[in-house]
Amino acid sequence: MSNSTPVTQSDSEWRAILSPEQFRILRQKGTEAAHTGKYDKHKADGVYSCAGCGTPLYKSTTKFNSGCGWPAFFDAIPGAVNRHEDSTFGMVRTEITCAACGGHLGHVFKGEGFATPTDERHCVNSVSLNFADEGKQK
């Protein structure tokens, strides 16, 4: 479903295409429990896409093991992810959302000292993602 036109749907339309857990996380800005997501320790060559609209978000070459309990990436595919200030829970964080459909992905943290080119950690909910092996991509 990846295209340049933003994906806009009503909550009832999203509920019809997403599982209850996907809706809670992607549309209501929820978080899955640490160390429970299927992509936390996932290692394969390919692309991680938005579970809501199919837009490619992250390449496996940017994924790293941060030990945080969620999939971690040091950079997104250019233009695929938007950043927003999130001041919930008494702290200021940077929320990341799918640029195409606005689905909540997680948060990005800077300056944690990981040996990555960007010194950023995109902490992403597995539920927000789908994965396509390198050999199965179009």
Instruction: Answer for the pair 21, 28: CB distance below 8 angstroms, yes or no.
Output: no
Catalytic residue among 50, 53, 101, 123: 123
In which element (H, E) is residue 81 found?
strand 81-86
Concerning whether 123 is annotated as a catalytic residue, the answer is yes
Task: Write out the two tokens for 58.
Answer: 């992250």
Nearest Cα neighbor of 38 from 121, 122, 109, 130 is 130
Sheet holding 72-73, edge to edge: 63-64, 72-73, 120-124, 104-110, 93-98, 81-86
Residue 82 host element (H or E): strand 81-86
Angle at 35 (CA atoms; ends 31, 36), nearest 5 degrees: 70
List, by residue number, the catalytic residues.
123
